[in-house]
Structure 1
Amino acid sequence: MERTKLTFIILIFISACNSADHQLSSEELAQYRRDLTSNEVNKICVAAYHLGEAHDTLSVPALLKNLDDPRISHHIQHKGMSVYYCKAGALRKISELDIEINQHNQPDSAVIKRFIIWANDNKLSDIKAKSNFSISRWQTKKDKTYPYRAEMYKDVLYNDTIRKLNEQEILALLGEPDRKQDGYFYYTISKTSVLSWNLHTRTLVIKFADSQTIEWIKVHE
């Protein structure tokens, strides 16, 4: 009986210590919130970790912003983790949603949508649920580039109506993909090039389970 009581006391003590570790001061919270807006991957991941542990709901809008960022951290504590993974991990702790997030996967639009819905339902974000997608602008091409896709691709990612379309309906909506391969459609969103060197490409990828069903829609960098 005494051993059981001692074990219980130790567990309470450990839990209290863990909670105390993230009773951040208002100055610390403010600094971590600012760090979320940094362009430095390491800063973002460190900030996301601490704000998630602190269950800081005020940081939710900043955590949702550019949540699909695939850049990788080289910070010793978060080495190999993407900005998406760091931010999604923080949002999972704050929201307490039962969502599986895989460190080695590309940003998952379905996961992102769940966090957006949760934030909107709890009045923690003002992200528009309405889509500003335009078929004509999506299909507009100038000098081998698509000038409007970068501002619209998230409307494709998070649009439930688009996710319910079949292969032919997707072709009618988005046009012919830049590349097709084994049930995958690849739509170029943006390219950064110097002379003939391609430095960076962002691509919207649609995977079909069959000709009638979309399995997922993701963005690859």
Structure 2
Amino acid sequence: MDNNHPGLLQLNVSFMQLNTLLLLLTIWCLSCNNGKAKKAVSETTTAIEFDTTKWRTKDGDDYPYRDELLTYLTTNNKLKGWKKDSVLAFLGQPDKIDSNYLFYSIAQKRLGFFPLHTKTLVIKLAADSTVEWRKIHQ
């Protein structure tokens, strides 16, 4: 680009800024989660019974039933005080174990293969291998 046309240079910079802005806006829109629609669906469904087979069902990298089964675990079955062996027999092997923590993947939203949002059930074990607490990490 030559310096004899400064207006052309400004126009080129403006198009670059506009393209960058549009790219960021597109990424932001794709990463948004429509929580209202999901909430409306979950409010109309009845509580389901826990099914170990569904909890352990894996489709590629995803667990298609864990998010809906999580409601049962957090409302009807607190897990607190359970021994580690009982948790493993009930939920199966966790996706990750780190010291006294068990991590169960619940759901993950991706843009391509990049994770945008991950939901995980975290269970902390006390020194005597009983469940001290469980939390949902998002």
- Check whether TM > 0.5: yes
| Greater share of helix | 1
Counterpart-to-counterpart distance in 2, 1:138 and 1:204: 12
Determine if contact 1:192/1:201 at 8 Å carries over to the other structure: yes
Deviation at 1:143, TM superposition (A): 1.1
Counterpart-to-counterpart distance in 2, 1:164 and 1:141: 28
Partner of 1:212: 129
Partner of 2:50: 133
Counterpart-to-counterpart distance in 2, 1:215 and 1:181: 15
TM-score (norm 2): 0.62
Deviation at 1:187, TM superposition (A): 0.3
Matched ranges for 1:1-221 at <5 A: 39=36, 132-160=49-77, 162-221=79-138
Determine if contact 2:55/2:63 at 8 Å carries over to the other structure: yes
Structure 2 residues without counterparts, runs of 5 or longer:
1-34, 37-41
Q: Residues 191 and 161 (structure 1 numbering): CA distance in 2 closer, same or farther, change over 3 Å?
A: closer
Partner of 2:10: none
Deviation at 1:131, TM superposition (A): 6.3
Counterpart-to-counterpart distance in 2, 1:131 and 1:219: 19
Counterpart-to-counterpart distance in 2, 1:159 and 1:211: 24
Which of the pair has more CA radius of gyration? 2
Query: Percent identical across equivalent pairs?
Result: 34
Paired AA for residue 61 in structure 2 = K
Counterpart-to-counterpart distance in 2, 1:196 and 1:160: 33
Over aligned residue pairs, what C-alpha RMSD do you find?
Answer: 2.6
Structure 1 residues without counterparts, runs of 5 or longer:
1-37, 40-64, 67-127
| Greater share of strand | 2
TM-score (norm 1): 0.40
Q: Residues 160 and 147 (structure 1 numbering): CA distance in 2 closer, same or farther, change over 3 Å?
A: closer
